[in-house]
A and B are shown apart, each in its own frame.
Chain A
Amino acid sequence: MSLSGIKIKDQEDLNRLQNVLKKRRNDEECSVAICGGTGCHSSGSEKVREAFQRYLERNDPEGKIKLRLTGCQGLCERGPLVVIFPQEIFYQKVSVDDVEEIIEKTVLNGEILERLLFTDPISGEKYTYSREIPFLQKQKRLLLGNNRLIEPTSIMDYISLGGYGALAGALTKMTGEEIIQEISYALLRGRGGAGFPTGQKWKECYEAVSDEKYIICNADEGDPGAFMDRSLLEGNPHLVLEGLIIGGYAVGAGEGIVYVRAEYPIAVQNINNAIKQAEKLGLLGENILGSGFNFHVRVVTGAGAFVCGETSALVEAVYGRVGEPRQKPPHLAEQGYMNKPTVVNNVESLANVTVIIRDGAERYRQVGTEKSKGTKIFSLVGKVNNTGLVEVPLGMSLREIIFEIGGGVQGGKEFKAVQTGGPSGGCIPESLLDMPTDFDELASAGSMMGSGGMIVMDEDTCMVDIARYFLNFLKEESCGRCFSCREGISRMLEIVEDISRGRSSLEQLELLMELADVVQDSTMCGLGQTSANPVLSTIRYFKDEYLAHILEKRCPAGVCHDLISFSIDKDLCTGCGACAKKCPSKAIEGVIKQAHMINLQKCTKCGICFEICKFGAVQKS
């Protein structure tokens, strides 16, 4: 007997399957969930899983202990993570050598292994259970919560938690119009960037008259510093797929397309696998759950272009052509893929759709702000203690996210800014940290929600360098269609580069701001229009840093290559010679046990000496 012979014919059969699987799950005496997200995978979680499996094959032939390799659990930096159920004992940085002891002592005898517990970077306190850890406790993991409970490759795991119940309910009890009303009432706003109301988007497509319609899931997560879509598709692909099918039913589409970055191989594999499983069980294909609704989904892998995140460019990319945006109107809801009405939704938006239909809009509305409901996943990264994915109610203040969940700035350094919204967003200073994070507030601060990257910067980050970094990125990624974007970004980059070299003037700064205005006003697509945000927001909040570069030829953060130099403090140098040994350009001279010095003519300013000196004798100025 194999899965291919089993079809779920209606809602009742799905309920029965859910109940049997739920019971089977409840009967599990204990289970071990190993995080297999990208972060943990890179830290060796696959080897840990193999070790668990080997040990269990030998010592647990009856299979009493259930092993799961799950999707991303969030605290990526502390990987590999292992959670032991039912107690929810949380172990971090687990290695192959710990496996035997974990099973023998913790799983079988409930004994806690102190050395593997999570230690709070600020209070130094140790936590045993995952529910106690502030990083997780302060979150509201509406979408990510199930990641640690399911194997992304197993549709049965997903169904055991009530999966596809939302779809069955929608297909049997609701019309397309009712679903759209429900989504509108839930005030769901698109999680991909601009925050356009999903219900309204669907309504336009629903009302368009056509024999064929399409729904596209945008998983071309191109913002640097963001990986929430990756984690959803990798960790819980059925949640996204279920939302896509519901969306297809609501707008009247017969075909769904998932456009995903080829740089995310596990996500590509897991969503393909999820589609196959759903097809085999009759949750996708012809006459889904006996409703008469036919829907097919296929995956298209992208070849890497930031501009393809723009919806009209994405449609071009789905054809496999050059992904350039086009003038709107006509909107995609009238003329999209194959010139038919098309709706494009982001991965996270679709995951939210499943939750709204499952729990009802009324319950969904209890979380969030007046105009933005639900949760948002952020990738909290950069110079912050607890890096990883965090899911919080919309409206939580930036300060709470960075300092309470993120545990503050690394190494006790001073906070300088947080960058949100990727290359279309901006840098927000300390003074605005109490601002609630929602779409409108962030936009009013000159940034945007974007897809949810949140990069924390400390005193050692130069804001001119950040502006230069984003302009460089945008210059590479501009599709070149609009003159103002193609040339405007290049000219802005030239000016910012001059500033970072200390070769600029106040007039140039004026020109930079003027250029930024022009690009903002005269570019066609959303990505071009927002491309000046990184420059404008850094000038708005950190003008003194620009002035220091221009007037004093000084980089206060000590980053801009042309404006810094290294020297050795004679009093602090012990003459250990470590720096001289490591210096790639042999620029450090001196006799052992005597103070060394740097030959500035040879020095390439790579900073290795600064990084390795244990005595703080190497100084940057």
Chain B
Amino acid sequence: MEEKYQDEFEEFLKALENGEVTAEYDGKEISEAVCPANGSGKGDNNEENNSIVSLLQEIQKEHHYLPADVLKEVAEKRNIPLMDIYSVATFYKSFSLEPVGKHKIVCCSGTACHVRGGKKITGEISRLLKIKPGETSKDRLFSLETVSCLGACALAPLVVVDGEYCGNMATSRIESFLEERLPLQKE
């Protein structure tokens, strides 16, 4: 076994020296690998995985929120008290017990965004979509969320529309900006 590795290593070095291998051996093929879900460590055996957070992350990934009936089912199946699931679901910011809208608008309310007027931007978006932060419109078209910090502070104030980061926002630009991206209803 050791010898086989050694041979392959020598072969690889030689190929590198001769310029025969290029970018594809920079380990890029591995980067395509999917990120594993939170595992219980060795083996990643799902049945043994008793992390409630990762259970909920999986459910949320599938349904985009945590439906009550699914939670009840999981609690029963895994023999976890529903109360424990509920406390984890309400403790962590990224979980939602309510269905979210088709379009997700996230306003960053980090400190950097706040000092550059982020609160006014959130207020203006709230007015235009007619929903408060944390709410979803009745037609389930829009959800508005605020988040503590997205770590893109240089672009403050920041708004993320359906995953697209839009920096250096200004209150006076919000309306036309949203109109370009979302099916807003004109008054």
Contacts and interface: CB of A to CB of B under 8 A. Distances in A.
B120 interface: yes
B117 to A, nearest CB: 8
A198 B29 CA distance: 36
Q: How large is the interface on B (under 10, 10 to 19, 20 to 34, 35 or more residues)?
A: 35 or more
Contacts of B166: 42
A221 B114 CA distance: 18
Contact of A306 (B21, B94, B148): B148
B154 to A, nearest CB: 3
Contacts of A269: 31, 35
Interface of B is mostly: helix
Interface in B133-187: 147-156, 158, 165-167, 170-172, 175
B127 A301 contact: no
Nearest to A320: B51
A381 B112 contact: yes
Give chain A's interface secondary structure class: mixed
Given A272-B33, A304-B92, A1 B11 contact: yes
A264 B27 contact: no
B52 to A, nearest CB: 5
Interface in A567-621: 582, 584, 606-608, 611-612
A262 interface: yes
Contacts of A222: 148-149
Contact of A6 (B8, B88, B158): B8
B47 interface: no
Contact of B38 (A21, A301, A322): A301
B69 interface: no
A276 B28 CA distance: 11
B77 interface: no
A169 interface: no
A432 to B, nearest CB: 19
Interface stretch (A8-16, A85-93, A396-404, A482-490): A8-16
Interface string B17-54: 10101110111111101011011011000000011111
A5 B39 contact: no
B125 to A, nearest CB: 11
Of the listed residues B12, B84, B115, B150, the one surrounded by the most CB atoms of chain A closer than 10 A to its CB is B115
B4 to A, nearest CB: 8
Contacts of B115: 382-383, 455, 457, 461, 466
A84 B38 CA distance: 39
B56 A230 contact: no
A303 B172 contact: no
Contacts of B26: 151, 153-157
Given A303-B93, A319-B51, A320-B88, A9 B151 contact: no
Interface in A209-254: 221-227, 230
Interface in A34-79: 38-39, 41-43, 63, 76-77
Given A24-B16, A320-B55, A455 B50 contact: no
Nearest to B87: A322
Nearest to A303: B92
Contacts of A304: 92-94, 148
Contact of B111 (A3, A8, A224, A606): A224
A321 B88 contact: yes
Contact of B50 (A17, A320, A608): A320
B116 interface: yes
Contacts of A8: 9
Contacts of A153: 26-28, 31
Contact of A77 (B93, B151, B154, B171): B154
B51 A5 contact: no
B123 A606 contact: yes
B12 A263 contact: no
Nearest to B33: A276
Contacts of B65: none
A582 B124 CA distance: 12
A422 interface: yes
B31 to A, nearest CB: 4
B97 interface: no
A77 to B, nearest CB: 5
Given A9-B2, A16-B13, A262 B57 contact: yes
Interface string A313-333: 000010111110000000000
B57 A230 contact: no
Interface string B89-133: 001111100000000000001111011110010011001000000
A320 B152 contact: no
A471 B23 CA distance: 50
A408 to B, nearest CB: 16
A20 interface: yes
Contacts of A503: none
A296 interface: yes
A2 B170 contact: no
A77 B156 CA distance: 9
B6 interface: yes
A277 interface: yes
Contacts of A321: 51-53, 84, 88
A138 interface: no
Interface of A: 1-3, 5-9, 13, 16-17, 20-21, 23-24, 38-39, 41-43, 63, 76-77, 151, 153-157, 221-227, 230, 255, 262-264, 268-269, 272-273, 276-277, 280, 282, 296, 298-306, 317, 319-323, 379, 381-383, 387-388, 419, 422, 453, 455, 457, 461, 466, 469-470, 473, 477, 479, 582, 584, 606-608, 611-612
Given A76-B154, A77-B155, A320-B88, 7 more contacts: A3-B30, A39-B167, A224-B148, A282-B5, A303-B94, A304-B92, A321-B84
29 contacts: A5-B8, A5-B12, A6-B12, A9-B5, A13-B9, A17-B16, A42-B152, A42-B155, A42-B166, A63-B22, A77-B154, A77-B155, A227-B149, A227-B151, A268-B35, A269-B31, A277-B27, A280-B30, A303-B93, A320-B53, A323-B92, A379-B153, A422-B111, A453-B111, A479-B91, A584-B124, A606-B120, A606-B123, A611-B171
Interface of B: 2, 4-6, 8-9, 11-13, 15-17, 19, 21-23, 25-31, 33, 35-36, 38-39, 41-42, 50-57, 84, 87-88, 91-95, 109-112, 114-117, 120, 123-124, 127, 147-156, 158, 165-167, 170-172, 175
